[in-house]
Chains A and B, each alone.
Chain A
Amino acid sequence: MDNHTKLIKWQKGIVHLFPLPALVIYTIFIVYPILAAFSYSLYDWKGLRKGAFIGVDNFIALFTKEPFNHLFWNALWNNVYYFVLEMIVQNGIAFILAYIIYSKIKGFAFFKIAFFIPRLLSVIVVGFLWKLILNPNNGVLNTLLKNVGLESWARPWLGDPDTALTTIILVNSWFGIGFSMLIFLAGLQSVSQEIIEAARIDGATRLRLIINIIIPMMKQSFIIVTVYTFIHAFEAFELVYAMEGSQGEPYYSTDTLAIFFYRIAFGGAGGGDSVAIGLGSALAVVLFFIIASLSAVFLYAVNRKKVQY
């Protein structure tokens, strides 16, 4: 081989270096930590030191030992409620708004921007901002209620276990409506105009048109929004942390699995040590399976036969 062909060969080989940096960083900082969490959950940890292999003991402790078992089910239930209420409030309103914008009201470009703007803030800013608005003494909301004569409605929204979680979810919906709305809007705009016209000529009312024609044809948007909302609801952390701290106050009424996980892993709630790696990893694995399996089910639903007309 002369020098020239060697050079060409070397230059041809260089292309294999292209994906390498991305591959290395992605593998080290995303793939490895998740795989390691699975392995860590099977060991007994003394602080930061790895001890003996103990099989599923961490999982058994999580589900049977006081107070972990109660806290686990309590947090799981809160996550489910988080998901359901977001689906109804956030995505329900988002769909209505998307439909209104789709019907070309005047100033639709302004409305699109107006509903989207909260999405630009950091979730921690959203949490702190609303904490000030909802402050029982000097907050804007209770002052507003007082000024319009609804003083009896005023309450410590975040201090009452009956209203705290719902309040947080509503704040989350304020933040998330714009994003869901844009996905619904993209779905609505992909529905064929001819079909809508044809249905209208056949005398379909607006409501029937939406329920029987438009919604089935934009099923994919609904599934995308559902998957996003689901993952988001089961990872809920920042907003609760900003508004109610790492204890899910008051009385664990706003505790979520991610907050509980943080408390076990870094907040000294795993007993004794400030870090409880085994138990924390076990909880991470459980949460991983909840999120991965249900997302897979939703995504399977997307790829099944699409509705044809």
Chain B
Amino acid sequence: MRSGIRVRVGQYMTAYVLAFVSLYPIFLMLSSSLKTNIQILQNPLGLPTHISFEAYGKLLDQLPYLKYMMNSILVSTISVLLILVLGSLASFYIARYAFKWNPALFFYFLLGMMIPIKLGIVPLFLLMKQLDLLNSLWSLMFVYTAIGIPLSILILTGFFKTMPKELEEAARIDGCQDIRVFWHILLPLMRPALGTVMIINLITVWNEFFFPLIFIQDEVKKTIPVGMLTLFGQYSTDWSVLFAGLTLSSLPMLVIFFIASKQFMEGLTAGAVK
């Protein structure tokens, strides 16, 4: 099987070369953020000769970077919580009751997965203006919640349907009402599905750039992705600060990924494969 070995060697080489291409830019981002600006410009490829946190100091000193970070954390947390709560309430209703409008309701929600919502940005902008939500983090939280609802309903409804009806009936005979059945019996069993929904939405919301670009002008209300614009506008010559900013904005997702890489990869493809 000589050709078999050749194919195998080819496979390994392809995999290693592409893994290098995939990881090197991220490694470069991390390592450059620990160099001084002069080191980066004189020797872009070299490793940091000594670790310097100067760039991070400048970043936190001269930009409202902590503010961006707080805003991003606030927007992500509240949006994801709202998606989980509203999504599971609606899914419970769709999956566990047989009202005649339920299929239509489910379909109506699923349409949202096909709608390219960015194309509604002009009316959305005017709506936020009328609601006096421009320059408010609530504009982002509402939109992100609305964007997250369709996929979370798809995933959670599927999951609710797999749970045995007997469980619920037993609880009802014991006198549990709808809300208690939902809260005490079904929800605790839903953890894996809720985890998937959480991860998909967390990464989407944390990284989202388009809506704050339109809604938020106020420097102290910006989230990290739009804060990057300010950073690159002001520090275009100080590359170590730029790399530090890029690193700091990516670190939370990278850390969470290393804790739960399997859930991440399964979560992000779950919506597509369903």
Contact of A183 among B177, B209, B225, B273 (CB under 8 A): B273
Whether B149 lies near A129 (C-beta < 8 A) is: no
Whether B18 lies near A26 (C-beta < 8 A) is: no
- A93 proximal to B (CB < 8 A): yes
Residues of A within 8 A of B78 (CB): none
For the complex, give the distance between the alpha carbons of A234 and B119 in Å. Answer: 11
For the complex, give the distance between the alpha carbons of A224 and B22 in Å. Answer: 23
Stretch at the interface among A67-75, A106-114, A160-168, A247-255: A106-114
Residues of A within 8 A of B179 (CB): 14
Residues of B within 8 A of A111 (CB): 15, 19
Residues of A within 8 A of B74 (CB): none
Among A23, A97, A129, A177, chain B packs the most CB atoms within 10 A around the CB of A129
Contact of A100 among B11, B225, B246 (CB under 8 A): B11
Residues of A within 8 A of B229 (CB): 124
Residues of A within 8 A of B177 (CB): 11
Q: Nearest-CB distance from A283 to chain B (Å)?
A: 9
Whether B12 lies near A105 (C-beta < 8 A) is: yes
For the complex, give the distance between the alpha carbons of A26 and B114 in Å. Answer: 13
For the complex, give the distance between the alpha carbons of A238 and B122 in Å. Answer: 17
Among A25, A103, A120, A121, chain B packs the most CB atoms within 10 A around the CB of A120
- B29 proximal to A (CB < 8 A): yes
Residues of A within 8 A of B153 (CB): 22
Whether A122 lies near B250 (C-beta < 8 A) is: yes
Interface size on A, residues (CB 8 A): 88
- A304 proximal to B (CB < 8 A): no
- B257 proximal to A (CB < 8 A): yes
Instruction: Scan B9-48; emit 1 where CB is below 8 A from any A CB, else 0.
Output: 0011011001101110110110000000000110011000
Q: Nearest-CB distance from A59 to chain B (Å)?
A: 15
Whether A32 lies near B123 (C-beta < 8 A) is: yes
Whether B94 lies near A120 (C-beta < 8 A) is: no
Q: A29-B142, A186-B269, A284-B122 in contact; A117/B257 too (CB < 8 A)?
A: yes
Chain A residue with minimal CB distance to B209?
A124
Residues of A within 8 A of B163 (CB): none
Whether A21 lies near B206 (C-beta < 8 A) is: no
Residues of B within 8 A of A206 (CB): 7
Q: A120-B250, A125-B207 are in contact. List 17 more A-B contacts (CB 8 A).
A: A12-B178, A28-B146, A29-B145, A30-B150, A32-B120, A32-B123, A33-B123, A34-B115, A103-B11, A120-B253, A122-B250, A124-B209, A125-B246, A125-B249, A174-B22, A174-B25, A292-B114
10 contacts between A and B (CB under 8 A): A18-B89, A26-B149, A28-B146, A30-B120, A37-B119, A117-B26, A124-B207, A132-B242, A133-B25, A284-B122
Residues of chain A whose beta carbon lies under 8 Å from any beta carbon of chain B = 11-12, 14-16, 18-19, 21-23, 25-26, 28-34, 36-37, 40, 48, 93, 96-97, 100-101, 103, 105, 110-125, 128-130, 132-133, 138-140, 143-144, 147, 174, 177-179, 182-183, 186, 206, 224, 228, 231, 234-235, 237-238, 241, 258, 261, 265-266, 275, 277, 280-281, 284-285, 287-288, 291-292, 295
